[in-house]
Amino acid sequence: MVKYVFKRVGMAALTLLIIVFLLFWLVRVMPGNPFPSERMSDVQIAAKRAELGLDDPILVQFRNYVAKLLKGDFGNGTSLYYGVPIKTVLRTAVSNSFRIGGFAILLGTAVGLLLGITAALNRGRFLDGFCTVFSIIGVCVPSYVFLIFLQYTFSFKIPFFPYFFDADRFAFSSVMPALSLSLFTMSTIARFTRNEMVEVFDSDYVRLAEAKGMYGGKLVRAHVLRNALIPIVTVLAPLVVDLLTGALVVEKIYGINGIGKLMVDAITGEGIDYNYVLALGILYSTLYIAVMLLVDLLYGVLDPRIRVAAKEED
Amino acid sequence: MSAETILKISDLDISFRTNAGVVHAIRGVDMDLQKGETVAVVGESGSGKSVTMKAVMGLLDSNAVVNSGEILYRRPGDEDAQMIDLLKIGKKQLRQDINGQHIAMVFQDPMTSLDPTMPIGRQIMEGILLHKNVSQSEARRRALELLELVGINDAEKRFKNYPHQLSGGMRQRVVIAIALSADPDILICDEPTTALDVTIQAKILELIKSIQEKMKLSVIYITHDLGVVAKVADYVNVMYAGRIVEVGNVNEIFYEPCHPYTWGLLSAMPDINTDDDRLYSIPGSPPNLLHEPVGDAFADRNPFAMAIDKKAAPPMFKISETHFAATWLLHPDAPKVELPEELRHRIERARKEAEQYL
């Protein structure tokens, strides 16, 4: 098992390195300038390029970047928040995005599971149909449309929640964005849980458990849930990353200083801020790889078949 | 009806609502099971043998409709008590009072009938804890005993194994152990050896037989393998298109079969002593029960069919106290039809062989 974990972590680290290189290269190939070029003369730009080492061969630049990165230094902004270390700006953004995203994940997963289980237990009846319709709407309506609807209803028509994000009233003002972000997760989880459970209900081992004399809640807890949950974990993982890294549009609309908004600003500001785009790209990739790794390991805990396969690799 | 009858199915009629229409799968089935005996239900796929037993277990799919009939069950040693109609008592009560502790079932495919995420020992304990008022440690002790009873060596070690760590034969032994976990009176075996390879088949059949003697079980075998029937059964029900077409004790069915369908089944058994180099198969395929058959459902495939077979379904004709068959050939007015020659030779050979062992 230890060998298995090491192997997976090693693979993850290698994947990350390749991704960082690709990002690094792509950012440089991208059209546009890393600084507000309209306000600078050619001489200034040339001096700036030399200062940032942008004229060095790309492999040399990459080596220097990774060396700094390993020390935890993402560099400074080149056009966005000029001169402020990226780490400082990122810290606030990550904190905002993660808290709202985390709230959305909890809400989406909990309600999604509940809906899915309810639908599966009432298969073919009204509640099942209701959950199906809800999931389809939830998957189809983009989260920012739902957010605008919420703003219109609960900030304008019934003035209760604030129009925009307010860091001083964090919990209260994150209800609407979290709710709108959770809709997609909620619907996906609900639909998936329902289908997985229905499949497990039709399985031979549930038949055998029934033949033993099991029924109702006991049957669901002992044999249905765990088997249905295994594939749900795989679906949940990428959704978690999406939510944690913040939805670009929702953050922009609701005025949240999160990483989604930061990414948009870094690209659409005066000049493309290479260091911000890179730092955020690395953050996204790291999160994604970490969550996938976690899922792989969690799979081993949930599914004895994988646990044993991992043991045999030792 | 003798006092020893513990399960009596009468006039069972079941249909399934499907997208294509109503499939009339079971069209009036009667069956008796006496205490301690073994009854085999034989027929092709789709003849309704599994559906009948699923009805007994309350495991019918949700689109099934029971149109009529009763499935009466009597607890052994409780001869004065009213028989319970398993179709009437409701699912919850069926699970609580009947499934597992009185009527248990062994399924066809051991590869899929165990929960892949639960150790096998735990799965056996579940049945014990559900029906017997015992502690965890006592249940564990009994589960280990059961594992040994079904012939699993180093039960202590296997107890913690997950299903995928066991071979098909072992898994079927575990499924049998689960079925036996709450001391049932009736064991229904739905093609218990079909998914296993031949060398394991015989072992599993012997295992069930020895357990049956030890625990005084009544056993119902669902199978399409007449070889299995010959080995294990006391009585045989031959099913065709949702009806029982011939019933008798094992000697009557194998040596004096009366229904042309039974003749076909017997002729279709591979036999190394034949000069014929072709294996017989019954021509055609079973009728689609989406359309109610008119007359005898077997008429189209029956080389001995008469005009009346196309018009009216035959009733059960009595041949002996235990032997009945539903074919117009047994009607007093019917012409005398001889057994197909090849089958007659085969039966004679089998008789001689059997006499050697007497």
The share of chain B scoring above pLDDT 90, in percent, equals: 52
Long-range contacts: B152-155, Cβ < 8 Å, 24+? B152/B177
Pair A231, A134 in one domain = yes
CA distance B256 to chain A (A): 37
Mean pLDDT of A51-72: 84
| Residues B119 and B226 occupy one common structural domain | yes
Nearest CA distance, B268 vs chain A (angstrom):
30
Cβ within 8 Å, pair A212-B178: yes
B289 and B209 part of one domain: no
**A6 & A120 share domain:** no
Contact list in B for residue A120 (CB cut-off 8 A) is none
Residues B40 and B107 both lie in one domain: yes
Mean local confidence (pLDDT), A119-123: 91
- b/e sequence A285-310, b meaning 16+ C-beta within 10 Å: bebbbebbbebbbbbbebbbbbbeeb
Residues B86 and B228 in one domain: yes
pLDDT tens track for B255-268: 999 999 999 999 88
Following CA atoms B94, B98, B101, B105 in sequence, which dihedral angle do they give, to the nearest 10 degrees?
-80
Same domain, A92 and A126: yes
CATH at A179: 1.10.3720.10
The angle at the Cα of B52, spanning B116 to B190, to the nearest 5 degrees, equals 40
Average pLDDT, chain B: 89
Both structure tokens of A63: 């080596």
Residue A64's pLDDT is: 86
Torsion, Cα of A88, A89, A90, A96 (10° steps):
110
CB distance B165–A303 less than 8 Å?
no
Q: Do A211 and B112 touch (CB under 8 A)?
A: no
The dihedrals phi and psi of B188, each to the nearest 5 degrees, come to -100, 125
Same domain, B217 and B302: no
Same domain, A166 and A201: yes
Q: List residues in chain B touching A: CB distance below 8 A.
A: 57-59, 62, 91-92, 95-96, 98-101, 104-105, 107, 109, 112-119, 126-127, 130-131, 162, 164-165, 175, 178-179, 181-182
Reported as a single tens digit per residue, the pLDDT across B156-196 is 999 999 999 999 889 999 999 999 999 899 999 998 888 88
% of chain B surpassing 70 pLDDT: 97
The verdict on residue A279 lying in a domain is no
Q: Which residue has the tokens 């029971």?
A: B66
DSSP B292: P
Strands, sheet with B243-249, edge to edge from the N-terminal-most edge strand: B103-106, B186-190, B218-223, B38-42, B235-240, B243-249, B324-325, B317-318
Comparing B118 with A44, the larger pLDDT belongs to: B118
- For chain A, how far is it from start to end, CA to CA, in angstroms? 6
Kindly provide the ipTM of the predicted complex, given to two decimals: 0.87
Shared domain check, A63 and A27:
yes
| Of B98, B100, B108, residue with least CA distance to B71 | B98
Strand blocks (E) in B191-322? 218-223, 235-240, 243-249, 317-318
Q: Which domain holds residue B204?
A: 5-233
Q: What is the 3-state secondary structure (H, E, C) of A43-98?
A: HHHHHHHHHHCCCCCHHHHHHHHHHHHHCCCCCECCCCCCCCEHHHHHHHHHHHHH
Is residue A161 domain-shared with residue A62, that is, in the same domain? Answer: no
Inter-chain touch A203–B178, beta carbons under 8 Å = no
User: Where among B174, B203, B233 does a domain terminate?
Assistant: B233
- Find the range with the poorest average confidence among A75-89, B16-30, B321-335: A75-89
Question: Where does a domain end: A11, A42, A70?
Answer: A70
* Within a domain: B257: yes
Alpha helices in A220-273 (DSSP H): 225-244, 248-254, 259-268
In a domain, A19, yes or no: yes
DSSP state at residue B301: G
Beta strands at B38-42 and B235-240: parallel, antiparallel or unpaired: parallel
What tokens were used for B35?
């205490």
Residue B261's CB is within 10 A of a number of other CB atoms, namely: 28
Which of B92, B117, B186 is most worth mutating to test chain A (most A CB atoms within 10 A of its CB)?
B117
Same domain, A261 and A142: yes
pLDDT at position A37: 65
Q: Does one domain contain both B261 and B127? A: no
Looking at the structure, tell me whether residues B122 and B194 fall in a common domain.
yes
Q: Are residues A148 and A256 in the same domain?
A: yes
Q: What is the DSSP string of A165-227?
A: --GGGHHHHTHHHHHHHHHHHHHHHHHHHHHHHHHHHTSHHHHHHHHHT--HHHHIIIIIHHH
What backbone phi and psi angles, to 5 degrees, belong to A23?
-60, -45
Residue A239 falls inside a structural domain: yes
pLDDT over 90 (residue A83): no
Last residue of a domain, one of B233, B264, B299: B233
Comparing CB atoms, the residue among A209, A211, A226 nearest residue B117 is: A226
Q: Is residue B98 part of a domain?
A: yes
Instruction: Tell me, yes or no, whether A123 lies in a domain.
Output: yes
Buried b / exposed e over B15-36, threshold 16 CB at 10 Å, is: bbeeeeeebbbbbebbbbbbbb
Asked whether residue B227 is domain-assigned, the answer is yes
**For residue B278, is pLDDT > 90?**
no
Instruction: Find residue B187's DSSP bridge partners.
Output: B104, B219
What pLDDT is recorded for position A155? 87
- The tokens for A85 are 């270390």
The residue ranking higher by pLDDT, A38 or A51, is: A51
The candidate with the shortest Cα–Cα distance to A144, out of A272, A34, A264, is A264
Number of domains in chain B: 2
CATH code, B204: 3.40.50.300
For residue A79, is it within any domain?
A: no
Is the same domain home to A173 and A61?
no
Q: How many Cα neighbours within 13 Å face the side chain of B73?
A: 21
Q: Are residues A93 and A242 in the same domain?
A: yes
pLDDT > 70: percent of chain A = 95
Residue B311 domain-assigned? yes
In B, minimum Cα distance to A211 occurs at B99
Q: What is the pLDDT of residue B1?
A: 45
Q: Which residue of B has its CA nearest to A216?
A: B92
Q: Give the residue from B169, B198, B233 where a domain finishes.
A: B233
What is the C-alpha to C-alpha distance for residues A283 and A289, in angstroms, rounded to an integer? 10
Residue A166 has pLDDT above 70, yes or no: yes
How many structural domains comprise chain A? 2
Name which of B57, B109, B119 is nearest A204 (Cβ-Cβ).
Answer: B109
A222 at B interface, C-beta within 8 A: yes
Q: State the pLDDT confidence band at A311, using cuts at 50, 70 and 90.
A: low
Taking the CA atoms of residue B248, residue B102, residue B214 and residue B253 in that order, the dihedral angle to the nearest 10 degrees is 10
Query: Same domain for A162 and A259?
Result: yes
Place of tokens 């051991």: B110
Are B126 and B260 in a shared domain? no
Residue A311: inside a domain: no
In angstroms, the Cα distances linking B113 to B98, B193, B281 are 20, 13, 32
Distance (Å, rounded) from C-alpha A225 to C-alpha A114? 12
Residue B241 located in a structural domain: no
Clarify whether residues B171 and B77 are in a common domain.
Answer: yes
Minimal Cα–Cα distance from B286 to chain A, Å? 26
What number is the average pLDDT over the span B114-132?
Answer: 93
If asked whether residues A146 and A60 sit together in one domain, one would say no
Nearest-neighbour CA in chain B from A88: distance (Å): 46
> Is the domain of B44 the same as that of B192?
yes
Residue A244 is assigned to a structural domain of this protein: yes
With respect to residue A23, please indicate whether it lies within any of the assigned structural domains.
yes
Tokens representing residue B166 in the block: 């066991």
Query: In terms of Cα–Cα distance, which of B284, B279, B237 is closest to B262?
Result: B237
Give residue A142's domain range: 87-270
Q: What is the pLDDT of residue B78?
A: 66
- Indicate whether B221 and B258 sit together in one domain: no
Helices and strands in chain B, H and E counts: 11, 12
Q: Is residue B64 within a helix (H) or strand (E), and if so which, with residue range?
A: strand B64-73
- Cβ-proximal residues to A40 (8 Å cutoff; 6+ apart), any chain: A48
Query: Are residues B111 and B52 both part of a single domain?
Result: yes
Express each pLDDT in B5-63 by its tens digit.
899 999 999 999 999 999 999 999 999 999 889 999 998 888 999 999 999 999 998 89
For the cut 90, the answer to whether the pLDDT of residue B234 exceeds it is yes
What's the angle, vertex CA B75, arms to CA B74 and CA B79, rounded to 5?
A: 75
